[in-house]
Amino acid sequence: MLFEKMKKYTPAVENSKRESQKPLTCMIFFFASQMSQNVEETRETIVEVPNEMVYNKGRTHRLDALLAEVQKHADQNPYVTRFEAIPVEMAPPGRPRGTTREEMHDTLLLASFKNKWAWEQWIQTSEWQAFMKKTENENVFRRIPHVRCANSLKGLRNPLEVLRA
């Protein structure tokens, strides 16, 4: 009986419990599709004077539009403590002629969670699942996203260096 109890409690089990309670930061790198068909006309609303709206037309890559949708849910989700999409210049051959860096770029998504369990809960949410399904169905990226997680940003090292290796 005592042997059975000792078998269940091992330092490895205790360490994994401690690790699962630490905050978790994930870097997700999206290699955006270079197809100009993924750049769509958008309308941004800008309020300049109270009760008066001014519309500014722009062009946005479909991946950015989908990330903006899921970000609204991340901002309200108790599992997510940070959700920040950072535009990154595309690797060669680069973006197509006639597009700007704002319209077409790769994206580094930094997302932080309370712990590993919170990450697992977030990726199962209907919003994240819908985002992943739409991005795959609409071919908005060149390669599958690169995901790397650690207990801190420092633990991720230099994410861009890792991707280029």
Q: What is the pLDDT of residues 49-107, one digit of tens each?
A: 455 544 445 777 788 888 999 999 999 999 999 999 998 888 777 777 777 777 777 88
One-letter amino acid of 57: K
pLDDT at 29 over 60: yes
Q: What mean pLDDT comes out for the span 27-45?
A: 70
Q: What is the pLDDT of residues 133-156, one digit of tens each?
A: 998 888 887 777 788 888 877 666
Task: Give the C-alpha separation, 40 to 54, whole Å.
Answer: 20
CA atoms within 13 A on the CB side of 118: 21
Structure-token match 């919003």, residue found: 127
Q: What is the pLDDT of residues 113-123, one digit of tens each?
A: 999 999 999 99
Please state the separation of Cα 42 from the chain's center in Å.
21
Task: Please give the residue that has the higher pLDDT: either 36 or 17.
Answer: 36
| Angle (deg, nearest 10), helices 126-137 and 62-76 | 170
pLDDT, position 73: 95
Largest CA distance in the chain: 76
Domains and CATH numbers, the chain: 23-164 (3.30.70.100)
Task: Please give the residue that has the higher pLDDT: either 43 or 157.
Answer: 157
Task: Give the C-alpha separation, 161 to 165, whole Å.
Answer: 6
Query: In degrees rounded to 5, what are phi and psi of residue 86?
Result: -120, 120
